[in-house]
Chains A and B, each alone.
Chain A
């Protein structure tokens, strides 16, 4: 299923959760349409409900209207608002700071990684992201 509404470019797939309950909702943020499709596909295969947006700004808009986001996975390098800046805004918000945030990047820059982890990111994944990466992180972070 695809949804294009109000600037949100995304794919949402509602699948039963592993325990039969409502699927956990993951917000994926990436300015690359290819990477949005890949991460959405990986998450859908793991039975998550996914909404994918193309910017930090859109992510914050959605977070303001959607109360049940269980995890955010975001690219680091995006125009206008980086994944790090999005992470900071989430962690500075009293309503959003409990949402785990995972950062993705194609570049292995140790200072970038440590900065994100210090700011509260749960993990930092190198691109290309693989299903095993998602399983490892999400199994650790999510109930």
Chain B
């Protein structure tokens, strides 16, 4: 019974992530590779790697923008990297925020980049929170499911 209730919570969480555009079809593709759709194996692995990767990249971009003379080429490289990983995991809003970022580093606008980074960080924090909840529910479901 507990497993059913937890599964219902997980299903509702995932449905809302899709409905709000937080994740896209690529995430669905990754889910289809997971045995049983439990979100405790492959999807969790990829989500964890994405969270670690994005945390690091966002910190690196912030450090670059904190410099008196901003290296916009390096900012470009980091945003490109984050856009790639968010695209691969299906984190659509983060990907779109990265695409929005481009105009500001191309214009070499520090203020614009700072605003764009704030949006990227906000979208990332949202999806990170949802991914973490998803993984916790997946682990709980696995713990109370019969072997």
Q: Which residues of A contact B (CB under 8 A)?
A: 32-35, 37-38, 41-42, 45, 106, 127-131
Pairwise interchain contact A41-B46, C-beta atoms closer than 8 A: yes
Pairwise interchain contact B85-A130, C-beta atoms closer than 8 A: no
CA–CA, A128 and B29, complex, Å: 10
Closest B residue to A45 by CB, please name it. B33
Looking at B87-95, B109-117, B126-134, the stretch in contact with chain A turns out to be B87-95
Pairwise interchain contact B30-A38, C-beta atoms closer than 8 A: yes
Q: Which residues of B contact A (CB under 8 A)?
A: 26, 29-30, 32-33, 42, 45-46, 49-50, 52-53, 80-81, 83-85, 87-90
For B53, give its contact among A32, A42, A129 (CB under 8 Å).
A32
Pairwise interchain contact B84-A33, C-beta atoms closer than 8 A: no
For A38, give its contact among B46, B52, B81 (CB under 8 Å).
B46
Pairwise interchain contact A131-B33, C-beta atoms closer than 8 A: yes
Pairwise interchain contact B46-A32, C-beta atoms closer than 8 A: no
Closest B residue to A32 by CB, please name it. B85
CA–CA, A73 and B50, complex, Å: 21
Contact flag A33-B53 (CB < 8 Å), given A127-B84, A127-B87, A128-B90: yes
How many Å from the CB of A109 to the closest CB on chain B?
13
Contacts of A106 in B (CB 8 A): 80, 83-84, 87
| Pairs across A and B, CB under 8 Å, 28 listed | A32-B53, A32-B81, A32-B84, A32-B88, A33-B53, A34-B46, A34-B49, A34-B53, A34-B89, A35-B84, A35-B88, A37-B45, A38-B30, A38-B88, A41-B30, A41-B33, A41-B42, A41-B45, A42-B33, A45-B33, A127-B87, A128-B26, A128-B29, A128-B87, A129-B88, A130-B29, A131-B29, A131-B32
